[in-house]
Amino acid sequence: MRSIFHVVLLLLCVGWLAAGAAPAKPIVTGAEQTQLYVPYLKNKRIGMVINQTAVIGQRLLLDSLLKLGVKVTRVFGPEHGFRGNASNGAHVGDEIDSATGIPVVSLYGARKMPPQKDMDAIDIMIFDIQDVGCRFYTNINTLRDIMEACAEAGKELIILDRPNPNDYIDGPVLDMKLKSGIGQFPIPITHGLTVGEFAQMVNGQGWMTTKKKCKLKIIPLKNYHHGMDYTLPVHPSPNLNTQQSVLLYPALCLFEGTIISQGRGTYMPFTVLGAPALKGKYAFSFTPESIPGKSESPLHMGEACYGLDLRNFDTAPMRKAGKINLGWMIELYNAYPDKAKFFDRSYSKQMGDINKLAGTTEFMQQIVAGKSEAEIRRSWEPGLSNYKKMRTRYLLYP
């Protein structure tokens, strides 16, 4: 019996060697490594910046820490709220969490930083929010604001690190003249960092308004290296409700600066593209409707939109190459019949500012001028290469 076991084990090892490597060990998030931080929290008053993505297994981190005897006195909620059920850009107010009785302080709406009275109610702050690795995803803005509040109040910030699902570096570096709520830092569209690494960059580059440094304690990932595929266990926001939408987000969010719908107002947001004026040019269609908690007033509401169905698009080559797909923007601009409306915000209040999304005024001009993807990419240098070099100073993982 024992000899059979050894033969099977030997065959498995031979198979792994033939495949080039042993099976990869599973990624272990910072939150899951409770032995590294729960003892540190003993007899401390804890504040938590979390949302529905802060989980250990199937359980919300807050509930796990309370069960382990951690004294949580405040929860601070980002965009989409503490439980992730508020629409994009919606005002989120303060509340008392019905499940625990803990005060929940909103950081998206009337304020971006915790009030002093709430900082006085904690000794240590924990940050655990799943990011998607994009400049225009607002979690990194919240991180910087929390770091600034902690630095001002003399509080330590513990970051429970999580993988970056869009872990590559691409896009123009933000022109800081275009700084806005969807672009706060001189970084490319996809920055290639985990949240823990990004926090080190904020400190190192002096990106807080006071120029102070936040005292950081980062609980790093185990068995992780840059470029690994990672499937998110929890949807990061109401309109990123599939893994495919997360992986397409760096390219499709740029369409928020156009007349083209990205599927808001459907149950397949950020996996489809279309507009009513493209009828006859594309067979695929969808009709945006008001969906509470996801998109109440979507672009082209109640109108059939014709365009591209990307739900089964293979994102692997794009991610392996480390490139945001610009071909869809070029294709749909060329296909759109009234090109004057394509980027013009005056035609729809739901449209965003393409210059702020792209981080440069050149991108729109290049699409209009018919520049190729290769020509557009060349214009991102030397900024992109300079960013990559700077980034290496803050890496926690190979």
Secondary structure element (H or E) that encloses residue 385, with its range: helix 383-391
Domains of the chain are 34-219 (3.40.50.12170), 243-360 (no CATH)
Cβ 171 vs Cβ 135: under 8 Å: yes
* % of the chain beyond a pLDDT of 70: 90
Q: For strand 45-50 and strand 103-106, is the pairing parallel, antiparallel, or unpaired? A: unpaired
- pLDDT tens-digit map of 47-68: 999 999 999 999 999 999 999 9
Cβ 308 vs Cβ 275: under 8 Å: no
The pTM for the full model equals 0.91
- pLDDT tens-digit map of 15-45: 433 445 556 899 999 999 999 999 999 999 9
* % of the chain beyond a pLDDT of 90: 83
In sequence order, what are the residues at sequence separation of 6 or more whose Cβ sits closer than 8 angstroms to the Cβ of residue 76?
47, 48, 49, 50, 104, 105, 106, 107, 114, 118, 146
pLDDT interval class at 4 (50, 70, 90): very low
320 class by beta-carbon count within 10 Å (0-12 exposed, 13-18 middle, 19+ buried):
exposed
Read off the amino acid at residue 372.
S
pLDDT interval class at 293 (50, 70, 90): confident
180 class by beta-carbon count within 10 Å (0-12 exposed, 13-18 middle, 19+ buried):
middle
- pLDDT tens-digit map of 132-180: 999 999 999 999 999 999 999 999 999 999 999 999 999 999 999 999 9
Closest CA to 261 of 352, 325, 323, 183: 352
